[in-house]
Chain A
Amino acid sequence: MTASERPHVSAAMTELDHPALYRLMTWLSPAFPVGGFAYSSGIEWAVEAGDVDDAASLRGWLSTMLTDGSGFCDAVFLVHAHRAMELGDIDRLREVAELAAAFVPSRERQLETTAQGRAFIEIARSAWNSPGLDDAVSQCEAMVYPVAVGVVGAAHGIQSSLLLHAYLHAVTSNWISAGSRLIPLGQTDSQRVLAALEPVVTATAVRAISASLDDIGSATFRADLASLRHETQYTRLFRS
């Protein structure tokens, strides 16, 4: 973080009222019951194939997924879903939700993101009162996970950039959790990978916050193929 960014971030934090902070922490905690522990985004195949076999290769793999893969794309979808919800533009929201669903590269990644999206909305709706959420949800056919987070966050008045940084960091953390169980890594190495990826998370979020839907694209062929190959992996701990 540069010195010039600091005042901006601290100002943003004071704008966030305390209940909103609690919700952000809760919703993006690994303990939030959306089934996140059951998905590896194809990392299980990458480990099986030998592409990922230690902390350094996991860091490299995830850095690419963040910068050039589903990390960046999903970040942009979150921002645009949040914006549409904030403006009450349901037609726009429906378009974003459809495009986000269409961008998922494999059947199991589709299961991963739609099941988590559905669970996220259901549990958030059951435990917290979210004005306008029911209407928005009923207008969209399916909401993938980042769209669900964007929509629910907007319904609760949580600032887009904070929501996005928290989301990307949580997704990265979940990937590392999968990698650490599969490789396996010790807990210290896992935290080192997370620490090393902080600048990548930040850069991806900063790029996504001002990106248009036309900027979306990915170039993570091996990760996409891994998520396809995983469908036929016999012995597996994860659903994707």
Chain B
Amino acid sequence: MLHALRQAKAQATATVAARVGIGGPVGSGKTALIEALIPVLQRRGVDFAVVTNDLVTKEDAERLRRSGLIDPDRVSAVEAGACPHTVIREDPTLNIAAGDELEARFPGVELILFESGGDNLASTFSLDLVDWWIFVIDVAGGDDIPRKRGPGLLRCDLLVVNKIDLAPHVGVDLDRMLADARQVRGGKPVIATNLKAGTGVEAVADAISAAVLFRI
């Protein structure tokens, strides 16, 4: 569902960017996922921009801007420290404004990624803000996370389980963790990644393309 503002704008300009949320706990790999997606999306010819929701600094936005992967002007930072849940759910005003501003500056942009501030398993995105969203957890956070059935993990359109290479080192049975995740999600998609090595990134890009860019 698109926000009323964007509907009005869509009528005026005929194009409007798809908005995709990326949420998940602190340190699970949200920024790493975006860093891994950037070259893949560029290679596929997708015109995109990024909004980061940093908790207490501008570290994530600066990390992406300095990465050399993307035009720094295409990365916008929203400071969300006071309420990381609120700014993507109850009151996404700041993020909607950041997205509108990027669309105005880059008229051809077709995809905007919104990285949420690191949060907990209860965080979900407002569908006023995004059309589709990803939740990122990692195996080092514990294999009991899927069984806790947090709203973020249950409601997201795509669950990414990151750092699968660490499973043997932290005593996690990866197959079982993934099976639990698929079971509690009632068959909604789950993708296992090792973002350091690039494992699973193409599959995430495929899922985004199919869901919101209507490219298979």
Contacts and interface: CB of A to CB of B under 8 A. Distances in A.
**Size bracket of the B interface:** 10 to 19
Contacts of A236: 56-57, 79, 81
A238 B5 contact: no
A234 interface: yes
B67 interface: no
Contact of A115 (B5, B86, B93): B93
B82 A37 contact: yes
A238 B94 CA distance: 12
A41 to B, nearest CB: 13
Given A119-B93, A126-B4, A235 B57 contact: yes
B5 A38 contact: no
Contacts of A123: 93
Contact of B82 (A34, A115, A119, A181): A181
B93 A34 contact: yes
Interface of B: 4-5, 56-57, 79-83, 86-87, 90-94, 97
A143 to B, nearest CB: 15
A219 B164 CA distance: 58
The 6 closest A-B pairs by CB, nearest first: A237-B81, A33-B91, A35-B93, A119-B93, A237-B82, A235-B56
A92 interface: no
Nearest to A125: B4
7 contacts: A34-B91, A37-B83, A38-B79, A119-B97, A235-B56, A236-B81, A238-B82
Interface string A209-240: 00000000000000000000000001111110
A159 B79 CA distance: 36
B94 A115 contact: yes
Contacts of A238: 79, 81-82
B91 A239 contact: no
Nearest to B3: A126
A38 to B, nearest CB: 5
Given A122-B5, A236-B79, A237-B81, A38 B57 contact: no
- Looking at A31, A115, A122, A238, which has the most chain B CB atoms within 10 Å of its CB? A122
A11 B80 CA distance: 43
Nearest to B56: A235
A100 interface: no
Nearest to A35: B93
A123 to B, nearest CB: 8
- Looking at A33, A38, A118, A178, which has the most chain B CB atoms within 10 Å of its CB? A38
B83 A38 contact: yes
A178 B83 CA distance: 11
A37 B149 CA distance: 28
Given A34-B93, A234-B57, A239-B79, 11 more contacts: A33-B93, A34-B91, A35-B87, A35-B93, A37-B83, A115-B94, A126-B4, A236-B57, A236-B79, A237-B81, A238-B79
